């Protein structure tokens, strides 16, 4: 995709505050310098997680804790990390959690795996005492109505740092949702009650803004595309895709024009994602625009601006979440069950995440899109072999959103050649049992299919944004 580079997402901002009980410093003169060195090492490792670190320094009492709280509140962080270097009172960190407006992660990382018990004095032991205040913090946070999460380990404990990194990645997704602008263009596919989303509930559950667009917003931008721009976009398509013999040059040229217009639409409205559908009639311009979206929407998705058809706003949001976690995330639905091989076949016509294709993606010309108006070019590929995660957003009767998640593996096998993305997924159980359990979760018609096993990361995101987490993994 070097000919069509990814966007640069907003950077995750992490606030960091370390602390310990000031009464110890005159009693044990070597303790504070050691704890400050540990704090500096934590800050160094946090910056290596590809995030902006706002370091509020080291606090020794409630007054310094309150000052740190104000600094971190003003910084507008996505996550606050409180480093318990030794014992400290809850009153030193509760104001940080209350005022920042960001979720808080407490970390207890002692200097090494184990103390030198035979030689350590009290001051040296206290450097290993970060676990001591953790139950106190948990109790105080609970009584103050503050969600609690923590990671315990030692300073160079890679297991602990992987957990910390997971929380930072989750905070980045939370930030992308809270600051996101999500386009919704056209109208609902007739009769799809499950796809319908109360737009207010997006802001209520996830934050961010839904921009309601007309297909005329796209039409006027496509009309402004020059012949030279359309030719250049056609060259991009030929670089990125393999073209089947069925691709009609006029259809490809039209799709290229729509692609350039889509880029302008996304830029003008500052969109982070897009969901769309328009039926149209008798070959008029709106029908042609809707049918010409697949090339441009797939290129946008590969750049990091996921686009989903059939007006599937919750799935375009799921694709955004999966993309920001590094898993791609392609527009997906059930296609068939292969009981002979034990596989679930899933995929979709329309937009696909090109970065997770197992091969060079194919553009295939279609005379008709099944169940939709129009004709033109469509994308065909299967997702890279190996671990994958199916992930969708459900909307419950009470309006609460939930993450529906299932981990499986894309495996080889025969695939349809009809201009769809199609993948064979082995979920480790009978495909009929998986399909029943997946459907019973409250998932809707579509979801995102992404690479890697992402359940732990998605659970962390669900925790930070306070939505339900619904794992589907029948044995």
| Per-residue model confidence as pLDDT tens digits over 73-131 | 999 999 999 999 999 999 999 999 999 889 999 999 999 999 999 999 999 999 999 99
For residues 302 and 283, what is the distance between their CA atoms, to the nearest angstrom? 29
For residues 175 and 11, what is the distance between their CA atoms, to the nearest angstrom? 9
For residues 362 and 419, what is the distance between their CA atoms, to the nearest angstrom? 8
> Which pLDDT tens digit goes with each residue over 31-79?
999 999 999 999 999 999 999 999 999 999 999 999 999 999 999 999 9
Short-list 269, 383, 396, 239, CA closest to 322 = 383
Predicted local distance difference test score (pLDDT) of residue 420: 82
> Which pLDDT tens digit goes with each residue over 418-445?
878 899 999 999 999 999 999 999 999 9
**CATH code of domain 180-471:** 3.20.14
Dihedrals phi, psi of 352, to nearest 5 degrees: -140, 155
Dihedrals phi, psi of 469, to nearest 5 degrees: -115, 120
Predicted local distance difference test score (pLDDT) of residue 1: 45
In this prediction, residue 282 has a pLDDT band, given cuts at 50, 70 and 90, of: confident
User: In which element (H, E) is residue 265 found?
Assistant: helix 249-268
Neighbours of 460 (CB within 10 A): 24
The residue behind tokens 């005159």 is 26
CB-CB contact of 56 with 68 (8 Å): yes
What the block records as the tokens of 16 is 């960091």
Predicted local distance difference test score (pLDDT) of residue 163: 98
In this prediction, residue 414 has a pLDDT band, given cuts at 50, 70 and 90, of: very high
Residue 243, pLDDT above cutoff 80? yes
Q: In what order do the strands lie in the sheet with 376-380?
A: 242-243, 362-366, 376-380
For residues 140 and 125, what is the distance between their CA atoms, to the nearest angstrom? 25
For residues 182 and 177, what is the distance between their CA atoms, to the nearest angstrom? 9
Predicted local distance difference test score (pLDDT) of residue 188: 92
> Which pLDDT tens digit goes with each residue over 141-156?
999 999 999 999 999 9
Predicted local distance difference test score (pLDDT) of residue 352: 87
Strands 447-451 and 79-84, bridge-based pairing: unpaired
User: In which element (H, E) is residue 402 found?
Assistant: strand 401-411
Which whole number is the average pLDDT over 272-287? Answer: 92
What the block records as the tokens of 193 is 């009650």
Cross-strand pairs, 109: 153
Residue 281, pLDDT above cutoff 90? no
Predicted local distance difference test score (pLDDT) of residue 349: 79
Residue spans per domain, the chain: 13-173, 180-471
Residue 383, pLDDT above cutoff 50? yes
Strands 104-110 and 150-154, bridge-based pairing: parallel
What the block records as the tokens of 285 is 């311009």
> Which pLDDT tens digit goes with each residue over 225-236?
999 999 999 999
Check residues 195 and 22 and name the one with the higher pLDDT. 22
> Which pLDDT tens digit goes with each residue over 325-339?
999 999 999 999 999
Residue 350, pLDDT above cutoff 90? no
What the block records as the tokens of 331 is 């527009």
Strands 362-366 and 242-243, bridge-based pairing: parallel
In this prediction, residue 371 has a pLDDT band, given cuts at 50, 70 and 90, of: low
Residue 373, pLDDT above cutoff 80? no
Rama region for 57: left / alpha / beta (φ>0; ψ in -120 to 50; rest): left
In this prediction, residue 137 has a pLDDT band, given cuts at 50, 70 and 90, of: very high
What is the maximum alpha-carbon separation in the chain? 87
Neighbours of 60 (CB within 10 A): 18
Predicted local distance difference test score (pLDDT) of residue 374: 61
Which whole number is the average pLDDT over 447-475? Answer: 97
Residue by residue, DSSP assigns 209-247 as EEEEE-HHHHHHHHHT--HHHHHHHHHHHHHHSEE-TT-
Quote the percentage of the chain above a pLDDT of 90: 89
Residues in the chain: 475
- If you average pLDDT over every residue of the chain, what do you get? 95
Dihedrals phi, psi of 321, to nearest 5 degrees: -60, -45
- Strand runs (DSSP E) across 287-400, as ranges? 307-308, 328-338, 343-348, 362-366, 376-380, 386-395
CB-CB contact of 130 with 109 (8 Å): yes
Residues contacting 125, CB < 8 A, separation 6+: 115
Class of domain 13-173 (CATH, top level)? alpha beta
Q: Which pTM was predicted?
A: 0.95
Residue 179, pLDDT above cutoff 50? yes
């Amino acid at each position: 995709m070097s000919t069509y580079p990814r966007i640069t997402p907003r950077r995750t901002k992490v606030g960091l505050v370390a602390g310990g009980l000031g009464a110890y410093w005159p009693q044990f003169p070597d303790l504070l310098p050691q704890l400050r060195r540990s704090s500096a090492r934590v800050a160094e490792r946090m910056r290596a997680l590809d995030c902006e670190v706002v370091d509020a320094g080291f606090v020794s009492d409630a007054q310094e804790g309150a000052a740190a709280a104000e600094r971190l509140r003003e910084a507008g962080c996505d996550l606050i990390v409180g480093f318990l270097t030794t014992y400290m009172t809850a009153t030193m960190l509760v104001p940080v959690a209350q005022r920042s407006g960001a979720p808080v992660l407490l970390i207890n990382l002692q200097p090494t795996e184990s103390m030198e018990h035979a030689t350590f004095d009290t001051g040296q032991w206290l450097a290993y005492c970060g676990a001591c205040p953790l139950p106190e913090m948990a109790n105080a946070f609970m009584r103050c109505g503050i969600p609690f999460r923590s990671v315990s380990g030692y300073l160079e404990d890679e297991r602990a740092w992987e957990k910390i990194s997971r929380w930072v990645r989750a905070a980045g997704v939370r930030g992308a949702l809270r600051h996101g602008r999500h386009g919704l263009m056209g109208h609902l596919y007739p009769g799809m009650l499950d796809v319908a989303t109360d737009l207010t509930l997006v802001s209520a559950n996830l934050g961010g803004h839904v921009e309601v667009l007309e297909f005329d917003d796209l039409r006027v931008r496509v009309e402004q595309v020059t012949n030279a721009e359309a030719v250049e976009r056609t060259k991009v398509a030929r670089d990125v895709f393999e073209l089947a013999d069925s691709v009609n040059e006029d259809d490809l040229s039209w799709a290229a024009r729509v692609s350039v217009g889509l880029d302008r639409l996304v830029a003008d409205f500052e969109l982070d994602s897009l969901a769309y559908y328009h039926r149209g009639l008798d070959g008029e311009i709106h029908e042609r625009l809707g049918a010409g979206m697949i090339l441009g929407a797939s290129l946008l998705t590969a750049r990091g601006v996921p686009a989903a058809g059939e007006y599937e706003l919750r799935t375009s949001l799921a694709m955004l979440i999966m993309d920001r976690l590094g898993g791609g995330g392609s527009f997906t639905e059930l296609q068939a069950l292969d009981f002979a091989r034990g596989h679930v076949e899933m995929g979709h016509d329309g937009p696909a995440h090109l970065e997770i294709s197992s091969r060079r993606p194919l553009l295939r010309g279609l005379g008709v899109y099944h169940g939709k108006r129009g004709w033109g070019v469509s994308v065909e590929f299967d997702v890279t072999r190996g671990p994958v995660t199916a992930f969708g957003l459900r909307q419950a009767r009470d309006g609460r959103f939930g993450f529906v998640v299932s981990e499986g593996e894309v495996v080889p096998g025969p695939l349809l050649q009809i201009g769809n993305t199609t993948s064979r997924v082995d979920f480790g159980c009978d495909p009929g049992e998986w399909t029943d359990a997946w459907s019973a979760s409250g998932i809707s018609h579509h979801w995102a299919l992404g690479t890697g096993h992402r359940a732990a990361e998605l659970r962390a995101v669900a925790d930070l944004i306070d939505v339900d987490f619904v794992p589907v993994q029948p044995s």
